[in-house]
A and B are shown apart, each in its own frame.
Chain A
Amino acid sequence: MTTIAMGEMEQLRKEADNLKDQITAARKAMQDTTLQEAAASINVVGRVQLKTRKTLRGHLAKIYAMHWSTDSKLCVSASQDGKLIVWDSITTNKVNAIPLKSSWVMTCAYAPSGNLVACGGLDNMCSIYNLKGKDGNVKVMRELAAHTGYLSCCRFLSDSEIITSSGDCTCVLWDIETGTQKTIFAGHQGDCMSLAVSPDFKFFISGACDFTAKLWDIREGTCRQTFGGHESDINAIGFFPNGNAVITGSDDASCKLYDLRADQELITYQDSSIMCGVTSLAPSLSGRLLLAGYDDFNVNIWDTLKAERVGVLAGHDNRVSCIGVSSDGMACCTGSWDSFLKIWN
């Protein structure tokens, strides 16, 4: 590097360090209490005991992802047996069994309208399927290709827009109609593993292998906030139901809650007896419970305000890879490497 360039690098490095210190100090200045202290006067919720009500059998290999339809009845799952299955969770019937071009699928999503599903994985693409085609056959509607790394997660904003996260360290907002990238969200310094859209559809959050979570403004295309603190990859991420907080799950065996307006971590959900990574998470309807899936085949249920474990869902014979609470809050669905999905309430 030239001396001039080295000088500028050094200057920029110093300014970056100063700004990081400023952010740390500004966050500290907001700490007039902790969530733990503020919640001291409320009681831990009683033991939560959920039972398996349905087992969805049909996949022939590990299940990597599942997503509820907004009707709280249908759900879609993706397995490395190369199939996307749309289930009626109440009757356990398979409504659609969609064969995939690539069996290395890592994520799936149901559009809010119920008309489309999407999936993707090691093919680096997000494939969109129309469930409501004229002749009744489910066909690929679009293949969204541009990522240079695996597709880790995808979520529809509507039938015309979808957001994807990728092992190429970026997230992308796509126009499904034209199959083009509308916005590229760059900034993470590690594979993006998971994303979640805010309840008002204005923002989304991403969790990555750089141990941080980022909040993005969908229309502005900018990163508004970055949250650190985890000591390993963030595998799972979700919004607290009021949209003002974010929950992350990591390979460091903990989940964390970050408040968006205080711009900092408020509480950590961890226990010395839990030593394996968090794979997936979903809050209950009120946000008071956090259901988190772990590598040790269990789901732990946490009281989000007291950070105490209040229940366990034990029933899978392998890693719980995905979890979702239906929109009406009536049931939780878990998907596992044991090839089964279970419905609990």
Chain B
Amino acid sequence: MDNGMSSKTHNANSILLARRTVLQLRTEASRERMKVSKASADLMNYCTEHAMADPLLVGFPTSDNPFKDKKPCTIL
């Protein structure tokens, strides 16, 4: 291992990293969790509540489409 670090520094870094990993895992382990049934219900409710306002899902009249092709002009 030839990157200029002494093996003492490398080992000290490994221990620091391992300590940080353990601290992070402790934080993540201690969090509150919600039941999947409630989490799923909330997602489903959100979708239902907002469905009618989702243009890509329910569509909308062509006249309301800002991206619709303009009708070609006829020169009279």
Contacts and interface: CB of A to CB of B under 8 A. Distances in A.
B35 interface: yes
B22 A345 contact: no
Interface residues of B, number: 43
Contacts of B50: 241, 285-288
Interface stretch (A59-67, A97-105, A271-279, A324-332): A324-332
Given A30-B36, A32-B35, A38-B40, A5 B15 contact: yes
Contacts, number: 177
A221 to B, nearest CB: 13
B57 A45 contact: yes
Given A240-B43, A305-B47, A330-B66, A264 B56 contact: no
Among B26, B33, B42, the most chain A Cβ lie within 10 Å of the Cβ of B33
Interface in A74-88: none
B15 A12 contact: yes
A285 B26 contact: no
Nearest to A33: B37
Interface string A189-204: 0000000000000000
Interface of B is mostly: helix
B24 interface: yes
Interface in B58-74: 60, 65-69
Given A12-B22, A90-B66, A287 B47 contact: yes
B2 interface: no
A119 B56 CA distance: 29
A345 B59 CA distance: 8
Nearest to B52: A286
B56 A259 contact: no
Interface stretch (A19-27, A107-115, A149-157): A19-27
Interface in A16-52: 16, 19-20, 22-23, 26-27, 29-35, 38-39, 42, 45, 48, 50
29 contacts: A8-B18, A19-B25, A19-B26, A19-B29, A23-B25, A26-B33, A34-B40, A38-B36, A39-B44, A53-B68, A223-B27, A223-B28, A241-B50, A244-B42, A259-B36, A262-B36, A264-B33, A284-B54, A285-B53, A285-B54, A286-B46, A286-B53, A287-B43, A288-B54, A289-B54, A305-B44, A329-B53, A330-B56, A332-B56
Interface of A: 1-2, 5, 8-9, 12-13, 15-16, 19-20, 22-23, 26-27, 29-35, 38-39, 42, 45, 48, 50, 53-54, 73, 89-90, 187, 222-226, 240-242, 244-245, 259, 261-264, 266, 284-289, 291, 304-305, 325, 328-332, 343, 345
